[in-house]
């Protein structure tokens, strides 16, 4: 039967209903605008906004799907990692529905939801088969992961300082673009000269597939602070944005290249999958697609709305887990930290 998914780990309140075969019956995402004035997500405001909006959002997707709660096979909710207040709201709501209707509950790891998005049957023919190499690029994470199966993740490398989305958000702030910064920076960069500023490309050409972005961010900060002609003109800001984005693209392509070399694909062609909010960036997608082609890997990138936080990926992860007989007790505690390779990811 169908599965309801709920996402509330950060500042997107989202709900979706998927049929057992992965067909999307209904989806809704609410981007909380309440944080813009603060230049970042305020956890308490986020939790209260989830509480205020989630019931209406869930009602809406259920109505759109033409289903009642009793028609569901299960309820899945992001239960970590993320901001604990929002996680408690979303997982608590899901548990309430599950308890009332005696449905199975899946405590979804939000990173696993990003990781399994490429398996949605509508994306690749029948969904990407295991194993594949995942580049997870989001607001809180930047890592290369070998995805061997549901719950089976091997971390090949990750950032040693900032997450890539964090770097986008910080540079956007330096350029006065407001918040959230990633999409605004990409729009500004579209009119800029990516070759004008030679920003550093941390770890490029070095072995391994770790990442580092703090030096790049600092270089942009120094450029902006020391800009000779006083306040930045729009064209200068666009050139900085484009040059920064190009540096990130070069780094991601280089590190993903090493990860592909290290990734011993089981029989069949190698496949590089990108996921997470930063994977919505067209310049980065193009660079990664080229890197994959150069290694003979095929490339899978979800549609933009399924890169940033959404509940379709959460419901889908619920379906994948329920198929394997994996569900969770109603006393499962949401957690702010929950790495993909944690021992309990293969929990029964
Ligand atoms: P995590 O998934 O690690 O817990 P999160 O859920 O906050 O973090 P996502 O919603 O997956 O992160 O991604 C949000 C991040 O993606 C933000 O840092 C945002 O700036 C960035 N982002 C979104 N769109 C773009 C884009 N077009 N270009 C670059 N960055 C983008
Ligand atoms: Mg967000
Ligand atoms: Fe996310």
Q: Which ligand is nearest to the CA of 142?
A: 1
Residues 245 and 211: their CA atoms lie apart, in Å, by 15
Judged by DSSP in three states, 31 sits in strand
Cα of 223 vs centre of ligand 3, distance in Å, is: 30
Distance CA 231, CA 198 (A): 20
168 Cα–ligand 1 center, Å: 9
- Token readout for 237 is 């800001």
Report every protein residue that has its C-beta within 5 angstroms of ion ligand 2: 10-11
The whole-angstrom separation of Cα 188 and Cα 139 is 19
136: three-class secondary structure by DSSP: strand
285 phi and psi angles, rounded to 5 deg: -60, -45
Handedness of CA 33, 275, 91, 2 (dihedral sign): positive
Full-prediction pTM beyond 0.95? yes
Percentage, residues of the chain above pLDDT 90? 90
Q: Provide the residue count of the chain.
A: 348
Q: Tell me which of 138, 177, 189, 334 to substitute to probe ligand 1's pocket, judged by most ligand atoms within 8 Å of the beta carbon.
A: 138
136 labelled ligand-binding: yes
Is residue 126 very low, low, confident or very high in pLDDT (cuts 50, 70, 90)?
A: confident
Q: Is the ipTM here above 0.95? A: yes
pLDDT interval class at 244 (50, 70, 90): very high
- CA torsion 11-15-20-22 (nearest 10°) is -60
């Amino acid at each position: 039967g169908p599965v309801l998914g709920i996402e509330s780990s950060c500042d997107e309140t989202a709900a979706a209903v998927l049929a057992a075969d992965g067909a999307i019956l209904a989806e809704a995402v609410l981007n909380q605008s309440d944080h813009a004035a603060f230049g970042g997500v305020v956890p308490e405001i986020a939790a209260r906004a989830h509480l205020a909006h989630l019931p209406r959002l869930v009602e809406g997707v259920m109505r759109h799907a033409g289903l009642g709660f009793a028609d569901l096979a299960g309820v899945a909710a992001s239960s970590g990692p993320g901001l604990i207040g929002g996680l408690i709201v979303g997982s608590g709501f899901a548990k309430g529905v599950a308890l009332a209707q005696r449905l199975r509950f899946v405590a979804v790891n939000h990173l696993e939801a990003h990781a399994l998005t490429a398996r949605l049957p509508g994306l690749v023919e029948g969904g990407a088969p295991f194993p594949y190499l995942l580049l997870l690029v989001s607001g809180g994470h930047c890592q290369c992961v070998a995805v061997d199966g549901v719950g089976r993740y091997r971390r090949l490398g990750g950032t040693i300082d900032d997450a890539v989305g964090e770097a986008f958000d910080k540079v956007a702030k330096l350029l006065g673009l407001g918040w959230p910064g990633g999409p605004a920076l990409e729009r500004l960069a579209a009119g800029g000269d990516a070759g004008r500023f030679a920003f550093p490309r941390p770890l490029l050409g070095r072995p391994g597939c770790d990442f580092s972005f703090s030096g790049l961010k600092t270089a942009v900060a120094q450029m902006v602070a020391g800009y000779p002609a006083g306040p930045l003109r729009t064209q200068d800001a666009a050139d900085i944005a484009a040059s920064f984005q190009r540096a990130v693209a070069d780094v991601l392509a280089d590190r993903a290249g090493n990860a592909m070399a290290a990734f011993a694909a089981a029989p069949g062609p190698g496949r590089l999958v990108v996921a997470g909010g930063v994977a919505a960036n067209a310049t980065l997608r193009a660079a990664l697609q080229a890197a994959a082609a150069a290694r003979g890997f095929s490339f899978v990138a979800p549609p933009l709305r399924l890169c940033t936080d959404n509940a379709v990926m959460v419901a889908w992860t619920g379906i994948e887990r329920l198929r394997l007989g994996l569900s969770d007790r109603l006393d499962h505690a949401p957690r702010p930290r929950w790495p993909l390779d944690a021992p309990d990811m293969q929990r029964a």
